Amino acid sequence: MTLRRLLLVVAVAVVASACGRLGTGLPACGAPPSSPNAANVLSVQALPEAAYAPCLNSLELDWDEVEFSARSGLVRLEFERGTDTFLDVRLTATCDIGDAKEVRSGQEDVTRYEDVVVVEEEVRLTIVPDGERPLAHALGLASQLNGSYLEDRPLVVIVDVEAARSATERVGEAAAVSDFVWIIGDIDVDEGTLAMRPTAGGEWIRGIELDDALDEMEDMVEDIQYRGNWYLVFDGGCITYDFDTEGKLAVSIARQADAAIGLYRNSDLIDAARDAGFEPVER
């Protein structure tokens, strides 16, 4: 009996009896090897040479739908909202990590790589006042604007109070840490205007009123995003996480994926099958 055939026999035996919060249709991280979830067995059957297979610790409340499939050489978990897949998790024998950077995995026998594009939650604005009156005006604007939102992203306003240096010097420094820079001079205080520039590139917009500046910024800012791949590499296999999220889900998706998705040790199930009296012939 081959190893794959052995696991198929075990799968048929447990389909009727396996239970748990995730049911038999999804691989559960907490399924005991002696009484495994049928989906765990099918995952191990698909790629028994791999040290691990993906499993679920829990389902997040805002993850609407999960599709599980397993066939020879591939295990797949697709997480969907409506008709859109926001996370696709695949176990394969190998994977191409490309330019992904190694990060800490937390497990000695698993190497983790990440290659993701993150558009952060906050929109950062630095106001550079040019003079004492503009400074007082800028502090008032910061108090008014902090806590507001642009495209579901919180606006964080910083006022550069270092009036001893020129505005030109301070704008250069502000551009390195902010998404937008405003300059306010004495004429702007009198006329209720400002000069604005996005730090990612673009021309200065001068003499623009506050409400118009905020509208321009809202048109320019990107939605919060978390897109790209994680790779977990181990003996005999690789699990690829393919993320495609934006908006509020993108804020929490990395933390949720780490919490919800775990690793099921394939050898535990194979050893349990042997202990039950099955003696597979290794291929």
CA dist list (Å): 91 to 40, 98, 127: 13, 17, 49
The answer, yes or no, to whether residue 64 has pLDDT greater than 90, is no
The answer, yes or no, to whether residue 2 has pLDDT greater than 60, is no
Beta bridge partners of 87: 79, 243
State the amino acid at position 161 in one-letter form: V
Domain boundaries, the chain: 3-117+229-275, 123-220
Distance separating alpha carbons of residues 87 and 249, to the nearest angstrom: 11
Beta bridge partners of 126: 158, 181
Tokens 């012939």 sit on residue: 281
pLDDT (0 to 100) of residue 152: 80
The answer, yes or no, to whether residue 107 has pLDDT greater than 50, is yes
123-220 placed in CATH 3.40.50.800: yes
What does the pLDDT average to over 155-170? 86
pTM over 0.75: no
Segment 254-271, tens digit of pLDDT:
999 999 999 999 988 888
Q: Are 40 and 264 in contact (CB under 8 A)?
A: yes
Banded pLDDT at 8 (limits 50, 70, 90)? very low
State the amino acid at position 171 in one-letter form: V
